Structure 1
Amino acid sequence: MRWVRWLVLGVISAAAFTTVPVGPASADPVEDIPSGLASFYHQQLHWKSCNDTTLDRAGAQCAGVVVPLDYNRPDARTLTVAISRIPATDPARRRGIMLSNPGGPGGPGLGMMADLRDRFTPDVRARYDLIGMDPRGIGRSDRMNCVLPLPTMLFSAGFDAFGYARDASLAAAFAASCLAPDPEKARFITTRNTARDMDVIRGALGEPKINYFGDSYGTYLGAVYTQMFPRHSDRIVLDSALDPDRYWLGAYQDMGPINEAALDDWAIWAAKRDADYHFGRTAPQVRAFVEDMIRRAAAHPVVGSGYLIDEHTVPMMLLSLLSNPRKNPDLAAVVRTISDGVSGLPIDMEQLKAKISGPVPLEAAGMAAVQCGDKAAPRDLGWYQRNIDSVRATQPVFGAFANNITACAFWPDPIEPPTVVRNSTPALILQATRDTRTAYQEGVALHHDLTASRMVTLADTRVHGVLHSDLSRCVNDIVDAYLRDGTLPGADRTCERDPQYRFDY
């Protein structure tokens, strides 16, 4: 704890000598180019190789789009946002551009469309230039850097007041370490500014409107764009949606109960394979094994390859693999590795890291800047502790994460209020009933806020990210019709997963 205390004092002292000019929030630009921004909207882009194997193989080219750091002061400091473009396969049928965001926040999206294009039909790929983007402050877009290089800003608070105090100290240190290097920049890495960047990209590409596909946090970004730029919003697909009114703090709290249910679901699967994994012959025995393993991790933490296995990190490792039942074997392997490690047996830490890393690794610095810059967090440290204590009995594994303190409790107040999303922009919302990252009711809430939207429910499926080539033909056909012809379903729909999408119970 002593090193954390000294780090907090050091980085806060460094930050104290730099002030951040903050002006009043400007009105939302809707139709015409706002005053002072014409040079940004009309800039000439210079396309070149992306120097990325996946993007280069997909035929993509990359460019940098210059945007104001602060849209209230367009003549002051700028950032460069990196974008990629995979051209429409049939110029004769091309109808525009489709921007995208993979989620997070903190997820680089430059290569998203190279992966996502295989989920689209040839008819859709023929019609759109697919645009990937690293949002401001992330990836190649003037990436945020923190003095304290944590792999994540999210931890579980552990079992007692001492564990919570550790996380509160670490959160304070992390916030200070992110603000100290460039406090002005850190304050302007926000969702509203990323939405403004998207509109500049639209202008620089010479398009009257954007089409958009967003996953997870990307649904919030997309919803914010429709609120700020409704006349420039065309066909909008929001997969695994967040409730804008519960972003971000409420969304984490919603993750507690749905991941406890997902762990029970996985425990049923693992119990049927006790001969392979030896966690228990019944689901309650498997859950008891996992909960005991976390306590053993608290007593005997393991450090290696820059990773720490303890009561603060193990729940996050489990959560990372509960988002899809096809990851059940990987989760079993991770549980076995952790259990062996905290029992004193040698383990392969690099292999563990590989299994728990997502396809789009989130940048902790970018996540902190966006979330903390979007919406203020409670400053009362006791508020978090009370919430954690109130759910320990019903959420023994994930409650201490879902209600834990983060760097946002120590971040400066946002430069402008969060966006209230209430509009009639047409959109297609995709939501699985047992999503472990964005609770089903959050998609329902966004559907209510976007009054002209249609919602497609994927029934009885524990999955985050509904659009997959082999998950539900029903879902894919609806998305295809909308992106191809602009046709939304006449009413909300419920789809089933395809028979071939199996995870044997």
Structure 2
Amino acid sequence: MRPRRGALAAVLLLTLTACAPASPEPQAQPQPRPGQAAGRAEAAAPPLGTNGAAVPELRWAPCHGSFQCASAPVPLSYREPRGKTITLSVIKLPAKDPAHRAGSLFVNFGGPGTDGVGELTRFGPHYPEEVRAHYDLVSFDPRGIGGSAPVSCPGADEPKVEGSPLRPDQHDAFYAASATVGKACAAGSGELLDHLSTANVARDLDLLRQAAGDRELNYYGYSYGTYLGGTYANLFPGSVRSMVLDGTLDLVANATGKPGQEHAPVDVRADVAAAQQEELEHFFAVCAAAGPKCAFSQGDQRRKFADIFAKLSQGPIGGVTLASLLQTIDSALYLSPRWKSLGQTLNSLAASSAGAAGARPPVLDPYVPVHNGGFLAVQCVDSDNPQTPADYDKLAASEQARQPYFGLAAVFSLTQCIGWPGHDADRYTGPWNRQRKNPILVLNNRFDPATPVSNARATAAELGDGHVLVVDGAGHTSLDVPSKCAWDAVARYLGELKVPAEGATCAPDAQPF
């Protein structure tokens, strides 16, 4: 699971109407609907709701030009609602037509680890006039991030891979280096690390909803923001008016996994490697059809790529390593306008790699994503992950055989969570299908390398009231795949609470070449 930090390529063309009357905040846990799957709960379920915590007073002051900023004190632990507090940094872009203001639209731009204040200042002014006229756009830095009691990990601000988990002489050094961020965060952040689960962010969100004067929540979450949305929708099911989950995590896979997945890390449970492979195959097909517009279009793209991969497995080509190429591909799969550059990169490597796949060299230096403390402080407490190097070592061979190009990165991407010092007893692990009065719209690209469309379908089923709309494009979330058809469907949903028909799809507005 990787944080989303891509650029906003498009914004929703929304038409919003006034909020419906609110339901009171639930104080008891509704029973799951018959026939709906529920996530596994921990032995001691966290208390539902904000547990009597005081609603903060938001004293808005001008900031960043036309924006307004405020600070919001919230409990460090919702088990002690009148105990220690932390302060959240909150921002809004006020409705341009205050006389006809309909409420707030809360937005989370992904992560974990992405600051909402900075993202809204960058992208808020570009939202459609209809949204700008009638709704305050509201975001905040989630606890532990940015201006909201950020985690401190001295000496580990720029973590890097040291050694290889596949080389016996470097194996122990790799896992020792993976643990350095956690040790640094423990030294710099202390007890804060035990209160950074998404469930506590959802509790913060509910206090902010009330502080903003909204009786019900209108919410749009991208990538990790879909997990925040799904968590909120089950902690506060009676307080949800509308919710769009865009680029959707599988809620069960992200939290605990299904029975039998206990020894698989999150990205393996979500089968991110298969999604990346599927999009790479789509790139090959689109590149071939593009002809001269794609530098890698000549010949058999699959064979040429297999040769490049094999050649780089033996050593660098002109300074390009296997890990650096896979990182480049990873970036291009997130944003299809980068495909032209990817084609040029692959074409530059093809001539010196011809026939290399026949030797079948082993991969000894895989691409391993690394994460900063802000990401890990949330992901490592939200998700169950294997806790011994042996678990990852055992899985590496089978996943590489199943997904030769991307399987190893999915296996090793969260080795930094081994021995993570934080543990949030109030995280939420299900059930995910609490009764809500309005459906949830689940939007996903056909080819999304980080949040596969299979995850979106799984989450819709786990929610019980989720409805999937697929955009036939490639990239991560609809921000990177503009589609007027999809935006119109979202507008109808947010305005009228009407979801698209089952199996509905939308075409993207542009193609990569």
- TM-score > 0.5 by shorter chain: yes
1:407 paired residue number: 416
Say which is worse superposed, 191-200 or 160-169, in terms of deviation: 160-169
1:196 paired residue number: 203
Residue 475 of structure 2 aligns with an amino acid whose one-letter code is V
Call closer, same or farther: CA 1:193–1:411 in 2, change over 3 Å: same
Say which is worse superposed, 330-339 or 283-292, in terms of deviation: 330-339
Percent identity (aligned): 26
Call closer, same or farther: CA 1:96–1:300 in 2, change over 3 Å: same
1:382 paired residue number: 390
- SS of alignment partner, residue 447 of structure 2: coil
Q: 2 CA distance for matches of 1:156 and 1:83?
A: 41
Once superposed, what is the RMSD of the aligned Cα atoms? 3.3
Alignment equivalent of 1:72, drawn from 59, 65, 79 = 79
5 Å matches for 1:387-398? 387-398=395-406
Residue 27 of structure 1 aligns with an amino acid whose one-letter code is P
Displacement of 1:278: 6.9
Q: 1 CA distance for matches of 2:140 and 2:388?
A: 36
2:378 paired residue number: 370
5 Å matches for 1:244-323? 244-247=251-254, 249-253=265-269, 254-268=271-285, 281-292=299-310, 294-295=312-313, 311-312=322-323, 314-323=325-334
2:454 paired residue number: 441
Call closer, same or farther: CA 1:456–1:267 in 2, change over 3 Å: closer
Q: Is the CA contact (8 Å cut-off) linking 2:110 and 2:224 kept in structure 1?
A: yes
Alignment equivalent of 2:220, drawn from 213, 216, 238 = 213
Displacement of 1:383: 1.2
Displacement of 1:292: 4.0
1:345 paired residue number: none
- SS of alignment partner, residue 236 of structure 1: strand
- SS of alignment partner, residue 126 of structure 1: helix
Residue 291 of structure 1 aligns with an amino acid whose one-letter code is F
Superimposed CA distance per residue, residues 361-417 of structure 1 (whole angstroms, 9 cap, x where no aligned partner) = x97111100011213322232111111110223322211110115221111462225
Q: 2 CA distance for matches of 1:207 and 1:156?
A: 51
Q: Is the CA contact (8 Å cut-off) linking 1:124 and 1:484 kept in structure 2?
A: no
2:340 paired residue number: 329
Residue 390 of structure 1 aligns with an amino acid whose one-letter code is S
Displacement of 1:164: 4.9
Call closer, same or farther: CA 1:94–1:378 in 2, change over 3 Å: same
Call closer, same or farther: CA 1:219–1:164 in 2, change over 3 Å: farther
Q: Is the CA contact (8 Å cut-off) linking 2:108 and 2:116 kept in structure 1?
A: yes
Aligned pair 1:177/2:191, yes or no? no
TM-score using structure 1 length: 0.77
Q: Is the CA contact (8 Å cut-off) linking 1:256 and 1:399 kept in structure 2?
A: yes
Residue 203 of structure 1 aligns with an amino acid whose one-letter code is Q
Q: 1 CA distance for matches of 2:451 and 2:324?
A: 21
Call closer, same or farther: CA 1:286–1:322 in 2, change over 3 Å: farther
2:470 paired residue number: 457
Superimposed CA distance per residue, residues 448-500 of structure 1 (whole angstroms, 9 cap, x where no aligned partner) = 122223221223x22221256x73222111111122233333x33422314x5
2:32 paired residue number: none
Q: 2 CA distance for matches of 1:156 and 1:301?
A: 21
Call closer, same or farther: CA 1:87–1:252 in 2, change over 3 Å: farther
Q: 2 CA distance for matches of 1:427 and 1:442?
A: 15
Q: 2 CA distance for matches of 1:320 and 1:185?
A: 32
Aligned pair 1:107/2:97, yes or no? no
Displacement of 1:172: 1.4
Q: Is the CA contact (8 Å cut-off) linking 1:120 and 1:480 kept in structure 2?
A: no
Q: 1 CA distance for matches of 2:298 and 2:466?
A: 45
Superimposed CA distance per residue, residues 40-66 of structure 1 (whole angstroms, 9 cap, x where no aligned partner) = x0424242313xxxxx3xx22222211
Displacement of 1:150: 5.0
- SS of alignment partner, residue 478 of structure 2: coil
Aligned residues: 437
Q: 1 CA distance for matches of 2:237 and 2:108?
A: 18
- SS of alignment partner, residue 241 of structure 2: strand
1:501 paired residue number: 510
Q: Which runs of 5+ in 2 are unaligned?
A: 1-43, 256-264, 352-369
Q: 2 CA distance for matches of 1:221 and 1:157?
A: 33
Q: With a CA cutoff of 8 Å and minimum separation of 6, indicate the structure with the bigger relative contact order.
A: 2
Q: Is the CA contact (8 Å cut-off) linking 1:79 and 1:141 kept in structure 2?
A: yes
Q: Is the CA contact (8 Å cut-off) linking 1:156 and 1:400 kept in structure 2?
A: no
Call closer, same or farther: CA 1:391–1:34 in 2, change over 3 Å: closer
Q: Is the CA contact (8 Å cut-off) linking 2:151 and 2:188 kept in structure 1?
A: no
Q: Is the CA contact (8 Å cut-off) linking 2:165 and 2:175 kept in structure 1?
A: no
Call closer, same or farther: CA 1:228–1:337 in 2, change over 3 Å: farther
Alignment equivalent of 2:494, drawn from 479, 483, 496 = 483
Q: Is the CA contact (8 Å cut-off) linking 1:62 and 1:83 kept in structure 2?
A: yes
5 Å matches for 1:147-162? 147-149=154-156, 151=158, 159-162=166-169
Q: 2 CA distance for matches of 1:97 and 1:401?
A: 39
Q: Is the CA contact (8 Å cut-off) linking 1:62 and 1:82 kept in structure 2?
A: yes
Q: 1 CA distance for matches of 2:211 and 2:331?
A: 37
- SS of alignment partner, residue 62 of structure 2: coil
Q: Is the CA contact (8 Å cut-off) linking 1:157 and 1:400 kept in structure 2?
A: no
Call closer, same or farther: CA 1:239–1:157 in 2, change over 3 Å: farther
Residue 74 of structure 1 aligns with an amino acid whose one-letter code is P
Q: Is the CA contact (8 Å cut-off) linking 1:433 and 1:462 kept in structure 2?
A: yes
Residue 89 of structure 1 aligns with an amino acid whose one-letter code is K
Q: 2 CA distance for matches of 1:318 and 1:172?
A: 27
Q: 2 CA distance for matches of 1:430 and 1:270?
A: 26
Displacement of 1:176: 1.1
Q: Is the CA contact (8 Å cut-off) linking 2:56 and 2:73 kept in structure 1?
A: no
1:11 paired residue number: none
Call closer, same or farther: CA 1:247–1:162 in 2, change over 3 Å: farther
Displacement of 1:295: 2.5
Q: Is the CA contact (8 Å cut-off) linking 2:197 and 2:378 kept in structure 1?
A: yes
Q: Which runs of 5+ in 1 are unaligned?
A: 1-23, 51-55, 303-308, 341-361
Q: Is the CA contact (8 Å cut-off) linking 2:71 and 2:89 kept in structure 1?
A: yes
- SS of alignment partner, residue 278 of structure 2: helix
Call closer, same or farther: CA 1:408–1:374 in 2, change over 3 Å: same
Aligned pair 1:240/2:247, yes or no? yes
Superimposed CA distance per residue, residues 208-242 of structure 1 (whole angstroms, 9 cap, x where no aligned partner) = 22211100110000110111111222211110111
Q: 2 CA distance for matches of 1:452 and 1:275?
A: 43
Q: 1 CA distance for matches of 2:156 and 2:318?
A: 20
